[in-house]
Amino acid sequence: MSCIVQNTFDDETPASVAIVETICTIKNIDPAKSMAELDSVLYDHIDPVALDNIVGSRTSTEPIRIEFEFDEYHIRVTNAGRIFVRVCADKE
């Protein structure tokens, strides 16, 4: 199994929604029930509106990458519409 789960986002599905959907897929949770079944919510870790505004804007010619922790997962989001979720802990 790969330690990185990838997903994409676009204008119809913003990054914040795609991140929650990806975490739900990893944990085998129905996204409609995510508030009740996840240990925390996205806005406990990052401002979802600010995230969507930064990476959802296609006006930047420079690559943008935002990284943060969501519970036990390391999340990387790019303005190219990509989400990477590290699901395995780094081995030292």
pLDDT means per 10 residues, the chain with 92 residues, are 87 94 91 78 93 85 92 94 86 48
Residue 58 CB neighbour total at 10 angstroms: 11
Within a 13 Å sphere around the CA of 70, how many CA atoms are in the beta-carbon half?
A: 27
Q: Determine the pLDDT at residue 90.
A: 60
Which sequence spans correspond to the domains of the chain?
Answer: 4-86
Q: Output the pLDDT for position 92.
A: 45
